[in-house]
Structure formats: structure tokens, C-alpha cells
Amino acid sequence: MSKPLYFDDLKIGDTFQTATHALDVEQIKAFAQQFDPQPFHLDEAAARESMFGGLAASGWHTAAITMRLLVSSGPPLANGIIGAGGEIEWKAPTRPGDVLQVHSEIVALTPSRSRPDRGLVVLRSNTLNQRGEVVQILTAKLMVPRRTS
């Protein structure tokens, strides 16, 4: 485990890189059956006829894998990765066989005015596939505790 990072330890421009996650057909269909049961996430033939042109993971599946990678091997934020929200953009489909990795950068740091024990960290996370293509950009607002002296 890396040493936990507090708000005061972070600088704009700090970058982090996670481990990788290999996606397969079974994972894509299992997630879709539970949370996004649309033909292009469930059935190869239907997916070929869709605007995806082939089986693609639900965007929410890509987001969930991104979170898994951030929690397991992303920035070791004190108290964990706790988001108030953010923006998400799906740039390209995620496919069976893709190997995903998350590259993150701190883009803003704002001490909380109402809560002196924490700050707001904006973390931009690009989720890349094995060809280095960005499949998702997540710009998340995270609550991170301050060091108390």
C-alpha cells in the first residue's frame, strides 16, 4: 500500500496510472443483463446491425471498471475515493478482448469553505484500451480530507 494522500499532499498536474483490466464477452453480457439489457450489449448478431457495429460494453460497465481500477490501484487518497459527481464522456466503444487502464491527472484543487477538514479535488481520468485509444473520460469531483496538524 502506498502512503495515503491528503488534500494537502496533492498538486495540480499530479498523474496516476492504474493496473489493467481485461474485458471479455462474458463480463460484458453479465453486466448488460443486470443493468443495461439492450441488444447491442447482449447479442453479437444484433450488435452488428446496430450503430456500434459489433458487441460493445455498456458505458456504465466501462465506468464501473474505471472505478474498480481507481479504487484498487489509482491515487491512494486518504478515506478512499468518494465522489460528489462529475462529467463522463464515452469516446469509443469498449469491446470484448479490450484491456483497460486508467490514466488520471489532478486538474483542480479547491479547499472547502464550509468544511475546513476537507477539499474538493477534480480528477480527470482517461480510460484507455490496449491500443492507447481513449474510450472514456471521467472528470470527477472528489472529497479528500485535509491533514490535521
Nearest CA to 143 among 87, 82, 72? Answer: 82
Residue window 67-86: x/- pattern of binding to its own copies, with contact defined by CB under 8 A: xx--xx------xxxxxxxx
Does residue 143 belong to the site contacting its own copies (CB under 8 A)? yes
Nearest CA to 76 among 121, 132, 16, 130? Answer: 16
Least distance CB 15 / its own copies (angstroms): 22
CB under 8 Å to 68, separation ≥6 — which residues? Answer: 21
Q: Please, which residue, 13 or 38, has the CB nearer to its own copies?
A: 38
Touching its own copies, residues 95-134 (CB under 8 A): none
Least distance CB 133 / its own copies (angstroms): 16
Q: Please, which residue, 58 or 101, has the CB nearer to its own copies?
A: 58
Listing DSSP states for 10-38 in one string gives --TT-EEEEEEEE--HHHHHHHHHHH---
Judged by CB under 8 A, the stretch of 4-12, 56-64, 98-106, 122-130 that binds its own copies is: 56-64
